[in-house]
Amino acid sequence: MIWIILIITVILVIIIRFLIDLNKDNKDLKDQNVVEKFQIIVSKLNEYVYQGEGQIEIFDKRQLNLYKTGENKVIQFNYSTGHLTIAWKYASTFFKKPYILPKQFDNVRNIDQSEEKRIADIMIKEIEMVSLSFLKSVLDESELK
């Protein structure tokens, strides 16, 4: 009986903490959407991936896509419970092989401009590394055929 009470208590604590964090997000995003909250990150990634010509598609105040019409790359942003997840998706039409690079950044509720720049730089470096690695693996596979 004590185990059941303990398990229920742990589950309730987890749910309550999650709901509190969601409420904090709602306060954060009351007067701004995720584009405005992370403007520097969005701008730097747009400049790097799309030479500043990317378009923003906002799904709700927590989610958006950054893309360029006619290209096979999309950057997804999802902000929830104080965490920002950025997923770079690349679909190679030539090699018929998709790649997704998700990266979560924790505790970004109250970050400053220098931290936003640091996050953007981390994503850019990872995109560069993954792009080279992905291209190499696809080329290696095509040589084996």
Segment 12-21, tens digit of pLDDT? 888 888 888 7
Q: What is the pLDDT averaged over residues 139-144?
A: 63
The mean pLDDT value of the chain amounts to 86
CB of 48 within 8 A of CB of 68?
no
Q: Could you say which architecture CATH assigns to the domain 2-144?
A: Alpha-Beta Complex (3.90)
Confidence of residue 39 (pLDDT cuts 50, 70, 90): very high
From CA 68, how far away is CA 73, in angstroms rounded?
8
Tokens of 78: 């999802």
Is residue 46 scored above 90 in pLDDT?
Answer: yes
pTM given for the model = 0.79
In angstroms, rounded to a whole number, what is the distance separating the alpha carbons of residues 76 and 35? 11
Contact between 34 and 63 (Cβ < 8 Å): yes
For residue 20, the model assigns a pLDDT of: 81
Q: Determine the pLDDT at residue 105.
A: 96
Sequence ranges of the domains in the chain: 2-144
pLDDT of residue 67: 95
- On whether the CB atoms of residues 99 and 75 are closer than 8 A, the answer is no
Confidence of residue 124 (pLDDT cuts 50, 70, 90): very high
The mean pLDDT value for 91-115 works out to 84
Q: Which of 45-49, 77-81, 122-126, 133-137 has the lowest mean pLDDT?
A: 133-137
Q: What is the predicted pLDDT for the residue at 144?
A: 56
Are 58 and 35 a contacting pair, CB within 8 Å? Answer: yes
